[in-house]
Amino acid sequence: MSDKKPISSVNDFVVRFANVNGSGSASANEMFARAILRHGVPVSPRNIFPSNIQGLPTWYEVRVTEAGHLGARGGVDMMVAMNPQTWDKDVAGIEPGGYLFYDSTKPMPSTKFRDDITVIGVPLTAITNSTYTDPRQRQLFKNIIYLGALSALLDMDPKLIEQLIGEQYKGKEKLLSSNVHALHLGRDWALQNLKCPIGLRVKKSDKVGDRIFIEGNSAAALGAVYGGATVCAWYPITPSSSVAEAFTAHCKKYRHDPETGKAKYAIVQGEDELASIGIVIGASWNGARAFTATSGPGISLMTEFIGLSYFAEIPAVIMNIQRAGPSTGMPTRTQQCDIIACAYASHGDTKHVLLFPEDPAEAFEFAAAAFDLAERLQTTIFLMLDLDIGMNHRLCRPLKWDDARQYDRGKVMTAEMLEEGRDFGRYLDVDGDGIPYRTYPGTHPTKGSYFTRGTSRDRYARYSEEGTVYADNMQRLVRKFETAQDLVPRPLQSNAERPTKYGVIYFGSTSPAMDEAIGLLEARGHQLDRLRIRAFPFHSSVASFLAEHDFVYVVEQNRDSQLRQLIVNENGIDPVRLVPIVHYDGTPITARFIAKAIGDHQDHLKVTPLRKAVS
């Protein structure tokens, strides 16, 4: 029996599945998360996986959260320990009073357990082996059997799981019925042999609403389809590969001519990231909307081309699904660590537009917007996702599209405009926004052609090494970047209930943890105004926010506080007033972490006057 009272919680707990990579557990685990959603209870699942295909440990964590906290919480209330390799660490990680679910087919020595947790053994292997003979079936159905047992232990409605199985195996009757059978094998065993339910329970609610459950990479790829991308060139790299794969799948469904069956898109798996970005630049130069998806090491390889895009003013969209660096770093762990690398990518004086979506819904919106921005600004636009958003299913508002929306193709001089006698200077700023007109190759027999080059040239694209001509062009590029400030998504501010001189800046995947942390901090008596930055260059409201607060915490997921550096650098702010709050161990940032870090700092700031202390 446990020394500590078992945790009792309805719709608010964390279940972690410890599996072996390649054992087919992913789909059963995902079904567990979806089943809870079908109860009307929000969940936030996360894959924690190694850079490996088969055999190594992998975890899947489901945060059940009626309150809708979608950030990682930290801690585990129930461990489904299916991997002997990680057993000790897994058992040690359970919160006191938590639950351990394991395969009890083989007896385990009592030293392998803990006194302060509830141990639930189900002879999964024995049940599986007595029912199935095929080894692969044994492995796969074992996962469904534990799902069935969990449904009984957590008081879940089996009908909702059956419904999910029905949807997944629609038209495949045999698979459908055998999965339902396996589900009930586990469920019935638990109901007959264990005390069900346990202290952790799922109760039907109505907190999910019309929200959808989607991975950020898939949403970004869908944004590219809606945003009119026709050329995608990519090179496989974790955690970005699923962007291109999802784009391929979406295009197969939505981008084939119904009559001819022909493709209204071209996808090329490049030989490397250099080729991928080269193809994107070539296609964009020629008037198509093109993008690539990559991660940190790919960005490093692309930087020469990114400088060309900046200087020769060629649109490009790069989706950077960030992972922990430097070098190969931790390929399967999340970070927001390429902020500086992307903002100033390439040699010479360069600056680039970065977009920071907070979740899949924004990944969709910003991906589509990136193509408008790239063509409007004629430069590279980075869509900065990370592994946490990209490779995990996240509950988010439904995706929306306005059918009246047209693509903004930017300043393109057509054959008609050239015929009218409009003055075409490829690098001529005609209206003060720093953005020149361009022509597509092949536009007009005698007018509008020009020679694109990475070397300096005058306003009419004629080669020049004159210092004044070069500087004139560089100054125009600065003007263009200023124009970008008002075109990119603006920061979103939300103020504390009471006026406060403390603020916090955050961005991207930190969002849900930050929202939750605010509640925790308020409970400790700390009031903070919040500013979520959604793009670089920074809108003027960032400077205003900094001016309005004595101290501003900058919360981010990298070691060197890169966004803070960028803010200090671009806004000329006294760095002392910007307090870095950094989380960079490769796991997603949590509300607990943020609340502790900010809370502790706030407590330090409340210095007790000396006289008062001694009196």
Partner 1 sequence: MTYIAKPKFHHPGLKKNSLGYTHRDYEGKISTLCAGCGHDSITASIIEACYELSIEPHRVAKISGIGCSSKTPDYFLGNSHGFNSVHGRMPSVLTGANLANRDLIYLGVSGDGDSASIGFGQFAHSIRRGVNMTYIVENNGVYGLTKGQFSATADRGSKSKKGVTNTDNAIDLVAMALQLGATFVARSFSGDKSQLVPLIAAAIGHKGASFIDVISPCIAFNNHAGSTKSFDYVREHNDAVNRLDVLVGRDPIAVDYAPGTVQVVEQHDGSKIALRKIDADYDPHDRLGAQTFLARHAAKGQIVTGLLYVDPDAEDLHEHLNTVETPLNALEADTLCPGSAVLDKINASLR
Contact between 44 and 36 under an 8 Å Cβ cutoff? The reply is: no
Judging by DSSP bridges, how do beta strands 535-536 and 353-355 pair with one another? antiparallel
Of 190 and 233, nearer to partner 1 (C-beta) is 233
Of 210 and 431, nearer to partner 1 (C-beta) is 210
Of 469 and 543, nearer to partner 1 (C-beta) is 469
Of 284 and 561, nearer to partner 1 (C-beta) is 284
Q: How far is the CB of 392 from partner 1 (least distance, A)?
A: 14
Q: How far is the CB of 602 from partner 1 (least distance, A)?
A: 40
Q: Helices 511-523 and 591-605 sit at what angle, rounded to 10 degrees?
A: 50
- Both tokens assigned to 124: 């999964």
Q: How far apart, in whole angstroms, are the C-alpha atoms of residue 239 and residue 384?
A: 12
- Both tokens assigned to 257: 């001519």
Of 138 and 207, nearer to partner 1 (C-beta) is 207
Of 173 and 257, nearer to partner 1 (C-beta) is 257
Q: How far apart, in whole angstroms, are the C-alpha atoms of residue 334 and residue 584?
A: 8
What 3 state SS string does 242-284 have?
HHHHHHHHHHHHHCECCCCCCECCEEEECCCHHHHHHHHHHHH
Of 134 and 420, nearer to partner 1 (C-beta) is 420
Of 466 and 550, nearer to partner 1 (C-beta) is 466
Nearest to 531 by CA among 502, 560, 557: 502
Of 474 and 478, nearer to partner 1 (C-beta) is 474
Q: How far is the CB of 357 from partner 1 (least distance, A)?
A: 17
Of 223 and 503, nearer to partner 1 (C-beta) is 223
- Cα distances from 541 to residues 339, 493, 505, in angstroms, run 20, 9, 12
Of 206 and 574, nearer to partner 1 (C-beta) is 206
Of 10 and 469, nearer to partner 1 (C-beta) is 469
Buried b (16+ CB within 10 A) or exposed e, 358-383: bbbbbbbbbbbbbbbbbbbbbbbbbb
CA geometry: angle 601, 607, 609, nearest 5 deg: 180
Q: List, in order, residues 6 or more apart from 238 with CB less than 8 Å away.
A: 51, 295, 323, 331, 332
Q: How far is the CB of 205 from partner 1 (least distance, A)?
A: 15
Q: How far is the CB of 209 from partner 1 (least distance, A)?
A: 10
Q: How far is the CB of 464 from partner 1 (least distance, A)?
A: 5
- Cα distances from 587 to residues 131, 338, 387, 517, in angstroms, run 39, 16, 10, 17
Residue with tokens 């490009």: 316
Q: How far apart, in whole angstroms, are the C-alpha atoms of residue 415 and residue 436?
A: 16
What's the half-sphere exposure (Cβ side, CA atoms, 13 Å) at 471?
3
Residue with tokens 């007790």: 608
- Region for 75 from its dihedrals, namely left if φ exceeds 0, alpha if ψ lies in -120 to 50, beta otherwise: left
Q: How far is the CB of 249 from partner 1 (least distance, A)?
A: 12
Q: How far is the CB of 295 from partner 1 (least distance, A)?
A: 19
Q: How far is the CB of 192 from partner 1 (least distance, A)?
A: 33
Q: How far is the CB of 401 from partner 1 (least distance, A)?
A: 5
Q: How far is the CB of 204 from partner 1 (least distance, A)?
A: 15
Of 280 and 554, nearer to partner 1 (C-beta) is 280
CB atoms within 10 A of CB 196: 17
Q: How far apart, in whole angstroms, are the C-alpha atoms of residue 568 and residue 572?
A: 5
Q: How far is the CB of 28 from partner 1 (least distance, A)?
A: 19
Contact between 235 and 271 under an 8 Å Cβ cutoff? The reply is: yes
Strand partners, 492: 532
Of 98 and 297, nearer to partner 1 (C-beta) is 297
Of 88 and 463, nearer to partner 1 (C-beta) is 463
Contact between 213 and 395 under an 8 Å Cβ cutoff? The reply is: yes
**Three-state SS at 562:** helix
Residue 212: phi, psi to the nearest 5? -115, 165
Q: How far is the CB of 289 from partner 1 (least distance, A)?
A: 8
Q: How far is the CB of 328 from partner 1 (least distance, A)?
A: 20
- Cα distances from 103 to residues 119, 135, 151, 182, 196, in angstroms, run 11, 17, 16, 16, 17
* Radius of gyration in angstroms for the set of CA atoms belonging to the chain, rounded to a whole number: 27
Q: What is the DSSP string of 97-142?
A: EEEEEEE-SS---GGGS-TTSEEEEE-HHHHHHHH--SHHHHHHHH
- Both tokens assigned to 106: 């083989």
Of 134 and 271, nearer to partner 1 (C-beta) is 271
Q: How far is the CB of 284 from partner 1 (least distance, A)?
A: 7
Q: How far is the CB of 342 from partner 1 (least distance, A)?
A: 19
